[in-house]
């Protein structure tokens, strides 16, 4: 099994930067034997995390950047996403599955990240997201 693979990127917003980061993570996971389902789950969760940090987290920060750090080994993949925004309270985001919120577009990204990742934690003041995907026997 290869050694732990780590990466770091400062993202400013262009789609190519997000794609390059996701591709690097996928390659590292493939080297450690993660399956297609795991690659799909992590790619989707990272898409939500990185796009949300750029669009929502940095919306009031001129030339805002997102600090993205990750590591992958044979047991788990860890991700750390920090934007330069003021942060938010994830508990205040409406539940997108509640009947009253079905037409509201917010909250679905958080729900998807929680569904696909083993751990999702927003750290104070809410501009720092830590996620973990743990490899299973079939992943």
Burial of 9 (0-12, 13-18, 19+ CB in 10 A): middle
pLDDT in tens, 55-108: 889 987 778 999 999 999 999 999 999 999 988 877 766 565 555 544 555 656
pLDDT at 89: 77
- Count of structural domains, the chain: 1
CATH number at residue 73: 3.30.565.10
* Residue for token pair 């995907």: 133
pLDDT at 101: 46
The DSSP string of 80-92 is EEE-SS----GGG
**Mean pLDDT calculated for residue range 101-130:** 83
Sequence-distant (6+) residues with CB within 8 A of 7 are 21, 24, 25, 28, 68, 69, 70, 71
pLDDT at 138 exceeding the cut of 60? no
In whole angstroms, give the CA distance from residue 12 to residue 106. Answer: 22
In a domain, 139, yes or no: no
pLDDT in tens, 28-43: 999 999 999 999 999 9
pLDDT at 65: 95
Q: Tell me which residue range forms the domain holding 128.
A: 5-134
């Amino acid at each position: 099994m290869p050694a732990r693979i780590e990466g770091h990127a400062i993202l400013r917003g262009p789609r190519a930067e997000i794609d390059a980061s996701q591709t690097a993570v996928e390659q590292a996971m493939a080297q450690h034997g993660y399956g297609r389902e795991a690659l799909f789950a992590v790619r989707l969760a990272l898409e939500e995390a990185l796009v949300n940090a750029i669009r929502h987290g940095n919306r009031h920060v001129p030339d805002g950047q997102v600090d993205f750090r990750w590591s992958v080994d044979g047991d788990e993949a860890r991700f750390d996403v920090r934007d330069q925004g003021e942060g938010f309270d994830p508990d205040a985001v409406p539940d997108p599955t509640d009947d009253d919120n079905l037409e509201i577009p917010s909250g679905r990204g958080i729900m998807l990240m929680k569904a696909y990742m083993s751990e999702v934690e927003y750290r104070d003041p809410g501009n720092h997201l830590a996620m973990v995907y743990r490899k299973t026997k079939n992943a």
